């Protein structure tokens, strides 16, 4: 850069820099951005965009912004910003939209899980509700939820739970009484999940949580109670008598995704073998391929994973299989950029979904969901398949069918699952 720095309102810039990702960047990148800002009279908007790009490149394990710039202009920077900005943006966008390669760059993994405080809290907070992301704009199963624990100890880079609950993990001190007081219609059937506000199994039976939930399931045979997990903490299920209306579900991803994006969770083999041992006890299992991540070898890896599931389980043991994608709300994207985590999860083309959240473009989703659905072809008539949080058009174009309403989806799922529960 050979232009003389332009005088700018220092106070304003200082404030603006503090509000952007600038303080999180390396000293070399900060110096480079200061020079650019001074030499080319960058607007605040342009400056912020560059700090965002620089932060993303760092998180993705790519070369820093100043090196990218130098490689684009080895003989010296152009005289005007309108010459280099589009080229730099284009370089960034191409990298962002390309299928990521986890083997090309080794991302730094966090060493220690940040557990934060774990508390048992007396509160009159309601524990029963609807799936927080269910919506009439997408085809949804109307899942109900019980929030027995709030927050998760795992470190999945795409997770929204930490955004809701911050650092603290809270156990409801009155879980048992609240479960007993729930008034459910005995003439209706319910699918209730406990994994929406935390991982359902990672805590084991801490504070008698699982005891309380099993009592609840036993006294409500019209409830299908789902424990959704990325752990292999199944001891309770091996050592106790488990009511028939329980399903343990595992969220599955290829090992390369687990290693790079699902920190501190059980490995793929541990999850599969935990599911196998639970199924061996006659407890029904289910699998969620959610989020399916788009990267250079996704097709082979996910197809192989589906094959493993087909080989390890019989369709009678598996109640349902869901497919889903990554979805970000703006605060989560901000939190990911602000965290010190290296992750490629945001290295993707982001478009708005029906709720205004950011997600993969339809064409990529259709490719992912239809590949997975095809991989499970031998089970199509025996296991219940669905898309989580997706619009009708994507169902039709990926699975070849769609339910006419969320209620119809819910009823079909309940009919399917209750007909396949073990008879005890
Ligand atoms: S489909 Fe997914 S998002 Fe919709 S209600 Fe069911 S679990 Fe929740």
Q: Which of 3-17, 91-105, 398-412 has the highest mean pLDDT?
A: 398-412
| 389 CA: nearest ligand 1 atom | 3
Count structural domains, the chain: 2
222 lies in the same domain as 319: yes
DSSP for 269-297, written as a single string: HHHHHHHHHHHHTT-EEEEEE-SPP-BTT
Q: Is 213 among the domain residues? A: yes
**Residue 298's domain is classified under what CATH number?**
3.80.30.30
144 lies in the same domain as 213: yes
Q: Report the greatest alpha carbon distance in the chain.
A: 82
318 lies in the same domain as 223: yes
Average pLDDT on 209-233 reads 97
Give the integer Cα–Cα distance in Å for 402 and 139.
8
154 lies in the same domain as 60: no
Read off the pLDDT of residues 85-110 as tens digits, 9 standing for 90 and up. Answer: 999 999 999 999 988 999 888 888 88
pLDDT of 370 strictly over 80? yes
Average pLDDT on 360-369 reads 96
Pairing of strands 223-229, 327-328: unpaired
CB-based contact 57:87 (threshold 8 Å): no
Residues 6+ apart with CB under 8 A from 259: 102, 109
**Of the residues 64, 97, 130, the one at which a domain ends:** 97
Q: Is 103 among the domain residues? A: no
Q: How far is the CA of 193 from the centre of ligand 1 (A)?
A: 10
- As a whole number of Å, the CA-based R_g of the chain is 24
133 lies in the same domain as 193: yes
Q: Is 111 among the domain residues? A: no
Structural domain for 19, as ranges:
10-97
Q: How confident is the model at residue 62 (pLDDT cuts 50, 70, 90)?
A: very high
To test the pocket of ligand 1, the residue of 132, 134, 322, 408 to mutate (highest count of ligand atoms within 8 Å of its CB) is: 134
pLDDT for res 8: 57
319 lies in the same domain as 390: yes
Residue 43 has which token pair?
């607007």
Q: How confident is the model at residue 262 (pLDDT cuts 50, 70, 90)?
A: very high
CB-based contact 221:253 (threshold 8 Å): no
Average pLDDT on 253-279 reads 97
Read off the pLDDT of residues 382-397 as tens digits, 9 standing for 90 and up. Answer: 999 999 999 999 999 9
Q: Provide the whole-model pTM.
A: 0.92
191 lies in the same domain as 75: no
Give the integer Cα–Cα distance in Å for 227 and 201.
7
Give the integer Cα–Cα distance in Å for 366 and 143.
23
Q: Which residue has the tokens 């659905």?
A: 373
91 lies in the same domain as 123: no
pLDDT of 6 strictly over 80? no
Q: Which residue has the tokens 């699975």?
A: 399
Q: Is 108 among the domain residues? A: no
Q: How far is the CA of 249 from the centre of ligand 1 (A)?
A: 14
Instruction: Indicate the DSSP class of residue 22.
Output: G
93 lies in the same domain as 189: no
CA distances from 271 to 110, 308, 312 (A): 21, 12, 12
92 lies in the same domain as 126: no
| 141 CA: nearest ligand 1 atom | 6
Q: How far is the CA of 392 from the centre of ligand 1 (A)?
A: 13
Q: Which residues form ligand 1's pocket by a CB distance below 6 Å?
A: 131, 133-134, 140-143, 388-389
Q: Is 316 among the domain residues? A: yes
To test the pocket of ligand 1, the residue of 129, 132, 133 to mutate (highest count of ligand atoms within 8 Å of its CB) is: 133
**Of the residues 47, 64, 97, the one at which a domain ends:** 97
131 lies in the same domain as 37: no
**Of the residues 66, 97, 128, the one at which a domain ends:** 97
pLDDT for res 108: 85
pLDDT of 242 strictly over 80? yes
């Amino acid at each position: 850069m050979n232009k003389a720095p332009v005088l700018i309102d220092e106070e304003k810039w200082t404030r603006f820099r503090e509000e952007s990702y600038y303080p999180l960047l390396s000293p070399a990148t900060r110096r480079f951005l200061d020079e650019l800002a001074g030499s080319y009279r960058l607007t605040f908007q342009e400056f912020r965009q560059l700090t965002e790009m620089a932060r993303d490149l760092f998180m993705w394990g790519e070369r820093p912004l100043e090196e990218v710039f130098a490689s684009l202009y080895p003989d010296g920077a152009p005289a005007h910003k309108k010459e280099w900005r589009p080229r730099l943006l284009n370089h960034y966008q191409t990298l962002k939209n390309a299928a990521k390669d986890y083997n090309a760059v080794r991302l730094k993994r966090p060493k220690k899980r940040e557990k934060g405080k774990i508390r048992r809290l007396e509160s009159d907070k309601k524990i029963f509700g609807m799936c927080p992301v269910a919506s009439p704009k997408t085809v949804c199963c109307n899942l109900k939820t019980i929030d027995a624990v709030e927050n998760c100890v795992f470190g999945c880079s795409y997770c929204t739970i930490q955004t809701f609950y911050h650092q603290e993990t809270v156990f409801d001190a009155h879980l048992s009484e609240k479960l007993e007081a729930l008034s459910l219609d005995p003439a209706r059937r319910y699918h209730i999940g406990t994994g929406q506000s935390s991982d359902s199994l990672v805590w084991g039976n801490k504070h008698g949580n699982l005891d309380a939930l099993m009592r609840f399931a036993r006294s409500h045979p019209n409830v299908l109670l789902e424990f959704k997990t990325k752990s292999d903490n199944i001891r309770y299920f091996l050592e106790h008598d488990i009511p028939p209306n329980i399903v343990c579900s595992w969220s599955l991803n290829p090992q390369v995704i687990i290693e790079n994006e699902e920190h501190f969770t059980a490995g793929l083999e541990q999850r599969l073998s935990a599911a196998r041992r639970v199924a061996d006890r006659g407890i029904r299992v289910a699998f969620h391929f959610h989020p399916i991540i788009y990267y250079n070898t996704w097709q082979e890896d996910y197809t192989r994973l589906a094959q493993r599931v087909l080989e390890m389980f019989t369709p009678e043991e598996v109640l349902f299989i869901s497919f889903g994608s990554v979805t970000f709300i703006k605060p989560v994207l901000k939190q990911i950029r602000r965290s010190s985590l290296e992750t490629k999860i945001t290295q993707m083309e982001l478009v708005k979904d029906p709720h205004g959240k950011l997600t993969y473009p339809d064409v990529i989703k259709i490719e992912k969901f239809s590949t997975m659905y095809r991989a499970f072809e031998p089970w199509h008539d025996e296991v219940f398949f669905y898309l989580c949080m997706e619009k009708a058009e994507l169902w039709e174009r990926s699975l070849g069918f769609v339910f006419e309403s969320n209620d119809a989806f819910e009823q079909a799922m309940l009919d399917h699952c209750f007909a396949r529960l073990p008879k005890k």
